[in-house]
Amino acid sequence: QQQVKQSPQSLIVQKGGIPIINCAYENTAFDYFPWYQQFPGKGPALLIAIRPDVSEKKEGRFTISFNKSAKQFSLHIMDSQPGDSATYFCAASKNGGFKTIFGAGTRLFVKA
């Protein structure tokens, strides 16, 4: 019940493409769903996050779509750029972020 399942494991897109990364969770008590971006040799950093009272959130080229009934959420990257090449982690937590559970990660490579 504590798991967050993420797919795909890796993704290659052309510059300008729209990679989509999907996540699913079981625990309906989760109330905070962030996405983190990690570059090689660095720590993860928050990219965008959503709470279950909205179905979509957009920040720049990054959009989260959230389907509460299906217990799924996804990250879309519009007009992807080579600089977006990184590992992306979805995550979930409850009660304000304590004990955040991470998905397995998606390695994205954007071809120039």
Partner 1 sequence: NAGVMQNPRHLVRRRGQEARLRCSPMKGHSHVYWYRQLPEEGLKFMVYLQKENIIDESGMPKERFSAEFPKEGPSILRIQQVVRGDSAAYFCASSPPGGGTGELFFGEGSRLTVL
Binding site for partner 1 (CB under 8 A): 6, 32, 34, 36, 41-46, 49, 89, 93, 95-105
* In contact, 13 and 112? CB cutoff 8 Å: no
Minimum CB separation of residue 61 from partner 1 in Å reads: 20
Minimum CB separation of residue 45 from partner 1 in Å reads: 7
86 vs 38: CA distance, rounded Å: 6
Q: Which is nearer to partner 1, 55 or 95 (CB)?
A: 95
Q: Which is nearer to partner 1, 17 or 27 (CB)?
A: 27
Q: In this structure, what token pair is assigned to residue 92?
A: 């979930």
* In contact, 87 and 43? CB cutoff 8 Å: no
Q: Which is nearer to partner 1, 4 or 77 (CB)?
A: 4
Q: In this structure, what token pair is assigned to residue 52?
A: 């279950």
* In contact, 86 and 109? CB cutoff 8 Å: no
Q: Which is nearer to partner 1, 17 or 32 (CB)?
A: 32
Minimum CB separation of residue 100 from partner 1 in Å reads: 6
